Amino acid sequence: MDDSAPAPAPAVDAAAGSLREPGRYRKGIAKREAILDAALPVFGQVGFHGASLREIARQCGVSHQSLMHYFPTKDELLMAVLRRRDERLRRHFDDEGGMRVDELVELAEYNVDVPVVISLFITASAEAVSSEHPAHEYYRDYYDRIVRSTTAYLSVAADRGWLRPGYSAAAAARVVLAVQDGLQLQWLYERDAVNVAELMRLVIGSVLTVPTSELDEAVREEARRRP
């Protein structure tokens, strides 16, 4: 093996790499992270189709060849960027009792510090509507799981009569998720005028007749009761 070749891509065989060559492995991890950091704003600014691997390589000071070592295709790079963005959220998709709506509000508060992530996420989710887009399946799965998880959480409210008249658990989940996406888009255009988290709380208060803390308690209680 040529010594000047880049370290092996850690995602492929992380455990083996770390045992054999810990120094090289750590450098590989760091480079991979640097590439993802550089890719994010490029995708966010010009969208998936407009982004070029050459430009991303240039922005993070690695050669085009080295970038291709970690991410052989633009598709793989996009997916790695999106997955990293969603880690925080996806951890809660399988929570017992489903996705708490306060978690969505907290995510909106956190997103304010990373506008480029919001921009990337919205652009990619809109572009990926086409079944030919590399992230199409990813987003189908994402919406499917987040709607189901939030619906599971709100179904406890529905069972107890804590949803405003007209709302099913699924309708309430879709509304809360929609308002988050839509407000974040508005916020990107007029950051001083739109407080995403505050408006989300207002909508949640229009959908639920009890405070979220009370619903959280009910969800925990139901989880304890399950065999």
Contact residues for a second copy (CB under 8 A)? 44-51, 115, 119, 122-123, 125-127, 129-130, 132, 139-140, 143-144, 147, 164, 166-167, 170-171, 174-175, 177-183, 185-186, 188-190, 193-194, 199, 202-203, 205-207
d(CA 116, CA 188) in angstroms, rounded, equals: 9
Q: How far is CA 72 from CA 13, 24, 69, 79, 108, in A?
A: 16, 20, 6, 12, 32
Closer CB to a second copy, 93 or 143, in the complex? 143
Cα–Cα–Cα angle for 80, 81, 82, rounded to 5 degrees: 95
CB 81 within 8 A of CB 131: no
d(CA 169, CA 167) in angstroms, rounded, equals: 6
Q: How near is the Cβ of 134 to a second copy at its closest, in Å? A: 12
Q: How near is the Cβ of 174 to a second copy at its closest, in Å? A: 6
For every residue of 143-174, DSSP letters joined together read: HHHHHHHHHHHHHHHHHTT-BPTT--HHHHHH
Q: How near is the Cβ of 208 to a second copy at its closest, in Å? A: 11
Q: How near is the Cβ of 108 to a second copy at its closest, in Å? A: 11
d(CA 68, CA 76) in angstroms, rounded, equals: 10
Closer CB to a second copy, 13 or 137, in the complex? 137
Closer CB to a second copy, 66 or 195, in the complex? 195
Q: How near is the Cβ of 182 to a second copy at its closest, in Å? A: 3
Closer CB to a second copy, 67 or 128, in the complex? 128
Closer CB to a second copy, 74 or 100, in the complex? 74
Q: Choose among 147, 165, 151: nearest CA to 208.
A: 165
DSSP letter at 8 equals P
